[in-house]
Amino acid sequence: GAVVSQHPSRVICKSGTSVKIECRSLDFQATTMFWYRQFPKQSLMLMATSNEGSKATYEQGVEKDKFLINHASLTLSTLTVTSAHPEDSSFYICSARDQASYGYTFGSGTRLTVV
Amino acid sequence: QKEVEQDPGPLSVPEGAIVSLNCTYSNSAFQYFMWYRQYSRKGPELLMYTYSSGNKEDGRFTAQVDKSSKYISLFIRDSQPSDSATYLCAMSIGPGAQKLVFGQGTRLTINP
């Protein structure tokens, strides 16, 4: 089945620094990937849709200058949290859809802690 | 009103019980329905995918869609402690690279 690899699984960074999270589709090509954020005991909130070769589409209320998305190839999308602050601490998850299968495959998530 | 409503629980049942999880939605444009299982600190994994009204069965899991009532269900038979997780319903308008709208998720615990 389709596999989406996400790294790192957890990261701790100092306030003011930037953190990059990678999302790779391992055995399929994904022209579109999605980035979600999940707070404890809450559901997934879509942050942005990442489109290969073009600008990402951000959901209302998501700061595009803070959450930089790059989708440079058909198998890789990156999310960079710039100038991170403690309130950015959360669980970030990416997903993609393999056209040959149903549903959307999710990465294992990245737990970001900003201290 | 949220587009997708799901009772967050928590729901606790004894091992072997039949579990019923439900979601309602308000957007009649939703055509594709999914159930995901999420273990703590992990990404969601797809359990069931349906695109029409009716029932779909896969092992101990049955997904049911009633578009006229805008209501979907997931039934788990012979529940096991390993089924303890958060279950999320999700839906989309189209089959392609469409964004998913998730329910809040129901925390389920199966007690041995």
Which regions of chain A are under pLDDT 50? none
Question: Residue A8's CB: how many other CB atoms inside 10 A?
Answer: 12
Q: Please give the C-alpha separations between residue B103 and each of A19, B5, B81, B108, in angstroms, as whole numbers.
A: 29, 6, 23, 14
Tens of pLDDT, residue by residue over B66-83, are: 999 999 999 999 999 999
- Any chain A CB within 8 A of the CB of B46? yes
User: Which residue type sits at B109?
Assistant: T
Q: How far apart are CA A47 and CA A59, in angstroms?
A: 5
Contacts of B58 (CB under 8 A, 6+ apart): B47, B48
* Residue A66, min C-alpha distance to chain B (Å): 21
Cβ pairs A/B, distance under 8 A: 51
| Nearest by CB: B97 against A32, A46, A111 | A32
pLDDT at B36: 95
B40: contact with A, CB 8 A cutoff: no
Given an 8 Å threshold on Cβ–Cβ distance, is B34 in contact with A103?
A: yes
Look over chain A and give the mean of its residue pLDDT values, rounded to a whole number.
92
pLDDT at position B96 is 66
Q: Residues of A58-71 as b/e, b for ≥16 C-beta within 10 angstroms?
A: beeebeeeebbbeb
Please report, for chain B, how many H helices and E strands are present, in that order: 0, 11
Distance CA B63, CA B55 (A): 6
Cβ distance A74 to A96 under 8 Å?
A: no
State which residues of chain B have pLDDT below 70. Answer: 96-97
Among A82, A79, A78, A88, smallest CA distance to A112 is for A88
- Is B105 in contact with A42 (Cβ distance < 8 A)? yes
Query: How many Å from the N-terminal Cα to the C-terminal Cα in chain B?
Result: 37
